[in-house]
Amino acid sequence: MSAEPPKAYLVCVGSELLSGQVNTHQAWLSVRLRRAGFDVIGESSLPDSVPRIRAALKRALAAADAVIVCGGLGPTFDDITREAAASALGRKLSFRPRLWKVILKRFARYHVAVPEENKRQAEVIDGAEVLPNASGSAPGQRLEFRAGGRARSLILLPGPYSEMSPIFDAVLPRLAARHARGAAAALTVRLAGVPESVADERLDPVRARHPGASFTILASGGEVSFHATARARTAAAARREIAEIREEVLAAVGRWSVGEGDETLEGALGARLRKAGLTLCVAESCTGGLLGARLTSVAGSSAWFNGGVIAYANGVKTRALGVKPSLLARHGAVSKECALAMAEGARKFAASSMAISITGIAGPGGGTKAKPVGTVHVAVSGPGRAASARALLIHGPREQVRSRAASAALVLLKETLDAL
C-alpha cells in the first residue's frame, strides 16, 4: 500500500562552501527529510550569484515537491538568496515594516547599533510566510504554490546551524503534512562491532520482505547505522509496518545494537553506566584523548565519567598507571599485556568502577614487521573483575586507526556490560 514518496531537493548557498568549508547542513537536513518520508533527490552548493541560484531553484522546483535553501539571508551585499528566489518564482520582494520592528527589537536587546543594510532582512517574497528566527536576525521564509499540477514548497533558511536547525525543525511537520502521499514512519538502529558488509547481508531479508519501504545503511568510524522509512495510506499502517521492521531488524542484528534514533554509542553506554551506578575512566596511548573526548561529548557525562590518563610516553604509563618497566621491556607498550595493565592501573588511578584502555600504532611511522601500523590493543577492566583485552589490526590513515580504535574500545565496554 505504499505510495511514491514526495521529493525534496537541497540548495546550499555560500561561496565559502566552494572554498573549503565543509557542508554539514546537507547531511543533517537529509536525515531529517528522509525520516519525515521525503526522498532527497539531490543537493547543489552554489556561490553567492543571483543568476546561478535562480537557475538552480527553477530546476529544483521543476523536479522536486519541496526545495530547501540554506544561506544567503544575511544583511550584506553578498546575501542574495531572497532576490534570486523571488526572481525564480517571478514574484516581488516587499519591505515589511512590522518584521523590521521585530529585528530592531532584537538588536536593542543586545545594545548594538543596527546597520542600515540590515533592512534587507525585512524584505519578504510576496505570498511568503515569515518563519521566526529566535537565534538570529535573519528570518526564514516559506512559500506554497502549485506547479505542474502538484503542490510545491520553497523554504528559505538562514545559513548558521544554530539558526537554521530550530527553524527547520519547527516547519518540517507542516512541510511533511502538505506533501505526504499517505503517511510515513521511520526508524534508525545504530550498530557497533559488526562490519557493514555483515550487517548488510543479514538485513537483506528484511529489505526483501518490505519492498514498499526504503532503507539506507551508513558506515562511519567503525559504526553502522540502519535507517528505514515505511509508507502507507494511514499513519497507523505506517507505524505498524515500521514496528514489524524494527522487530525483524533486532532479530537479525540486535546483538550489535547500541541505540535507536539519534543516540550515539557513547551516549547509550553512558546511560547504561548511570543506571547501573557505575563510573568509568580511560587510559589512552595512541588515541591521545580521543576516547575521553567522545565520552565527554555526552552532556551530563560527569555523572558517570571520572577522567583518566593520556599515557602517551612510557614514563606516564609506568608512573601513573603502574605498568611495570619489566612488562614494557618484555612485551612492548603495544601489547595485550600492556593494555590489561593500563586498564587495571587506570581504575585505581581514577577511583572508578570500570576502565577502558587503548594502546597501538596509529602511524604513519612506528610500524614493524611484527607490529605493523594499525596494530591496536584495547582492554576493559571492572566492575569487580579482571580486565579483558582484544587485539585489532586497523587499515587506513592515522585518523582512521585512531577513531576506529576508540570505537572498538567502546564496543568492548558494551560487550562487558552486556555480560554483567
CB of 72 to a second copy, least distance (A): 14
- Residue 390 phi, psi (nearest 5): -140, 135
**If binding is defined by CB under 8 A, does position 293 make contact with a second copy?**
yes
**If binding is defined by CB under 8 A, does position 292 make contact with a second copy?**
yes
Dist. CA 136–CA 152, nearest whole Å: 27
Nearer to a second copy, 21 or 234 (CB): 21
**Grid coordinates given for 309:** 590518563
CB of 241 to a second copy, least distance (A): 19
Among 296, 331, 367, 390, binds a second copy (CB under 8 A): 296
How far from 238 is each of 28, 159, 283, CA to CA, in Å? 23, 33, 46
Residue with grid cell 572508578, as numbered in its chain: 352
What residues between 147 and 176 interact with a second copy by CB under 8 A?
Answer: 162
Task: Point out which span in 78-86, 101-109, 270-278, 344-352 binds a second copy (CB under 8 A).
Answer: 344-352
Q: Do 120 and 99 contact (CB within 8 A), yes or no?
A: no
CB of 219 to a second copy, least distance (A): 9
DSSP 83-113: HHHHHHHT--EEE-HHHHHHHHHHHHHTT--
Q: How far is CA 281 from the centre of its chain?
A: 25
Instruction: Answer positive or negative: Cα dihedral of 196, 197, 202, 203.
Output: positive
Three-class SS state of 189: strand
- Residue 385 phi, psi (nearest 5): -145, 160
Task: Point out which span in 34-42, 112-120, 148-156, 170-178 binds a second copy (CB under 8 A).
Answer: 34-42
What residues between 103 and 122 interact with a second copy by CB under 8 A?
Answer: none
Among 94, 197, 234, 297, binds a second copy (CB under 8 A): 297
CB of 389 to a second copy, least distance (A): 20
Three-class SS state of 266: helix
**If binding is defined by CB under 8 A, does position 295 make contact with a second copy?**
yes
Angle ∠(66,69,75) on CA atoms, nearest 5? 145
**If binding is defined by CB under 8 A, does position 26 make contact with a second copy?**
yes
**What amino acid is encoded at 373 in this protein?**
V
Task: Tell me, by CB under 8 A, how many residues bind a second copy.
Answer: 76
**If binding is defined by CB under 8 A, does position 208 make contact with a second copy?**
no
CB of 177 to a second copy, least distance (A): 22
Among 132, 195, 212, 300, binds a second copy (CB under 8 A): 300
Nearer to a second copy, 16 or 144 (CB): 16
**If binding is defined by CB under 8 A, does position 22 make contact with a second copy?**
yes
Residue with grid cell 552548493, as numbered in its chain: 45
What residues between 350 and 409 interact with a second copy by CB under 8 A?
Answer: 350-351, 362-366, 396-399, 402
Terminal-residue alpha carbon distance, the chain: 44
Nearer to a second copy, 162 or 368 (CB): 162
Q: Which residues pair with 214 in a beta bridge?
A: 229
CB of 128 to a second copy, least distance (A): 25
Task: Point out which span in 45-53, 83-91, 237-245, 407-415 binds a second copy (CB under 8 A).
Answer: 45-53
Dist. CA 290–CA 76, nearest whole Å: 39
Among 94, 197, 302, 368, binds a second copy (CB under 8 A): 302
